[in-house]
């Protein structure tokens, strides 16, 4: 084995893994012991690999993601008897299905596009922490930014929000559509890494056909209190990190 | 027979690594959170179909990767987001002591690697997965995975050459 062949093999070698048991890798590592130039290359290669690996591992999930996944878990469990009946029915359907269907790979379940799922996702996004795209208290700047990002910008603020302290805005993705998220502060003392505790989400009505009507519907979602309504071609969700009393100040 | 893990234990064990994989593919915090969350919800709905519970990790990563590919296929519905626009989601690049690389720098470089190499390279570094495991996750033959990792690593290392003190750029493959 020459130096170039050894380098080619060691390019994919990760020290500390079972890769070393591979006879080719073992032979290449033996070359490293005998070839000073190859050893120098190998040491540099390992250092570079470690630096890149460390870089990847700096990716950290948002602090509340785990809590959100667990708290928003869909409750799908059925009583055992019903599950058996359902499985039997599915088995019959499967038998009747065409062979190509039987061979079809595991399909993705339909996406949950309901308004409840949308509201839950938006609230979860606000509560778990996010980066604001634009930090400003200027409503005109917020509208301009949202417009340039093809997000709903010509929204109607409820009277209670007109004079609330704006902190900025961000975009949230909902099944490929851009939702406008306008952030406010109630003035309460907030944790160090939190600048907002009132959020106003604007989405297009056509994306949420089962959204509430024109009268605000109040609900508790996670630890937030939320009002939702439809006006014109838009669906509005107003969420506060607090009680219904706080929420009503902004309606 | 090994019992299937309960939902919370599974989330605790894998949410961080799934998020890291999702973020390395999407470079967007919101999309990575969505992918991670959706993966666990698919598990909640369909995980009972998995007969071999030792394959849970592979199942989760495969499912997340399939979801990612599905979203990418729908890109006519999804406005294309340039990397510069996604920059706000990438961790801020900060100078680091010699020999260390910032995560944002690595992800920006990964974004410039050919699409087809990005997932195998991310799994290679993030999970220390065996090649057969990466092949199972990405649903491609072992030889293909090795070839993609090799070429992907070459591209990545060349892109990062300036950030890797004293490291030689990888040879062209």
Write the pLDDT tens digit of every residue in A203-243: 999 989 999 999 999 999 888 899 999 999 999 999 999 89
Contact list, B128 vs chain A (CB under 8 Å): 14, 17
**In the predicted model, what is the mean pLDDT of residues B30-39?**
90
pLDDT tens for B67-92 read: 999 887 775 444 544 444 444 444 44
Q: Which residue, chain included where needed, has tokens 């055992």?
A: A80
Q: List strands edge to edge, sheet with A198-204.
A: A165-174, A177-185, A198-204, A234-240, A224-231, A217-221
- The rounded mean pLDDT for chain B is 79
Contact A91, A150 (CB under 8 A): no
Q: Which of A11, A106, A178 sits opposite B150 (nearest CB)?
A: A11
> What's the complex ipTM?
0.76
Element (H, E) at B35: helix B29-46
CB contact under 8 A, A74 and B102: no
More confident residue, A188 or A85: A188
Is A102 a residue whose pLDDT tops 70?
no
Beta strand A165-174 with A217-221: parallel, antiparallel or unpaired?
unpaired
pLDDT tens for B123-150 read: 998 876 788 889 999 999 988 988 899 8
More confident residue, A30 or B52: A30
Contact list, A48 vs chain B (CB under 8 Å): 157, 160, 164, 167
List all residues 6 or more positions away from A1 whose beta carbon is below 8 Å from its beta carbon: A9, A27, A28, A31
By percentage, how much of chain B surpasses pLDDT 90? Answer: 32
pTM for this predicted structure:
0.55
CB contact under 8 A, B44 and A74: yes
pLDDT of residue B46: 83
For residue A173, name the pLDDT band (cuts at 50, 70, 90): confident
CA–CA separation, A128 and A123 (whole Å): 9
Closest CA to A132 of A173, A181, A68: A181
Q: Lowest mean pLDDT: which of A27-36, A44-53, A164-173, B69-78?
A: B69-78
CA–CA separation, A132 and A146 (whole Å): 12
């Amino acid at each position: 084995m020459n130096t170039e062949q050894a380098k080619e093999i060691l390019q994919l070698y990760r020290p500390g893994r079972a890769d070393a048991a591979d006879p080719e890798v073992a032979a290449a590592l033996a070359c490293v012991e005998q070839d000073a130039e190859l050893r120098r290359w190998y040491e540099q290669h390992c250092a570079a690999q470690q630096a890149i690996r460390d870089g990847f591992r700096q990716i950290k999930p948002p602090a509340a993601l785990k809590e959100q996944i667990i708290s928003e878990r869909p409750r799908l469990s059925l009583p055992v008897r019903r599950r058996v009946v359902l499985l039997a029915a599915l088995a019959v359907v499967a038998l009747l299905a065409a062979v190509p269907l039987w061979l079809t790979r595991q399909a993705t379940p339909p996406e949950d596009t309901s308004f409840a799922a949308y509201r839950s996702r938006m609230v979860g996004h606000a509560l778990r922490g996010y980066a604001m795209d634009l930090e400003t208290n200027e409503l005109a700047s917020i509208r301009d930014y949202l417009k340039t990002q093809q997000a709903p910008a010509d929204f109607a603020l409820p009277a209670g929000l007109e004079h609330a302290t704006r902190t900025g805005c961000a975009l949230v993705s909902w099944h490929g559509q851009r939702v406008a998220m306008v952030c406010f502060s109630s003035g309460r003392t907030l944790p160090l890494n939190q600048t907002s505790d009132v959020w106003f989400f604007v989405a297009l009505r056509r994306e949420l056909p089962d959204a509430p009507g024109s009268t605000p519907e109040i609900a508790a979602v996670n630890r937030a209190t939320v009002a939702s309504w439809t006006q014109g071609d838009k669906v509005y969700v107003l969420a506060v990190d607090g009680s219904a009393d706080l929420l009503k100040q902004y309606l | 027979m090994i019992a299937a893990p309960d939902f919370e234990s599974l989330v605790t064990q894998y949410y961080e690594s799934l998020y890291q994989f999702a973020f390395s593919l999407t470079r967007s915090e919101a999309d990575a959170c969505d992918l991670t969350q959706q993966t666990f919800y698919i598990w909640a709905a369909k995980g009972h179909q998995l007969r071999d519970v030792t394959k849970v990790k592979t199942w989760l990563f495969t499912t997340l990767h399939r979801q990612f590919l599905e979203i990418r296929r729908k890109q006519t519905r999804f406005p294309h987001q340039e990397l510069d626009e996604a920059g706000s989601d990438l961790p801020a690049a900060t100078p680091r002591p010699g020999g260390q690389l910032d995560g944002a720098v690595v992800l920006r470089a990964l974004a410039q690697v050919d699409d087809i190499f990005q997932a195998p390279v991310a799994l290679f570094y993030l999970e220390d997965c065996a090649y057969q495991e990466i092949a199972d996750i990405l649903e491609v033959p072992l030889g293909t995975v090795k070839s993609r990792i090799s070429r992907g690593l070459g591209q990545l290392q060349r892109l990062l050459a300036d950030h890797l003190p004293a490291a030689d750029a990888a040879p062209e493959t």
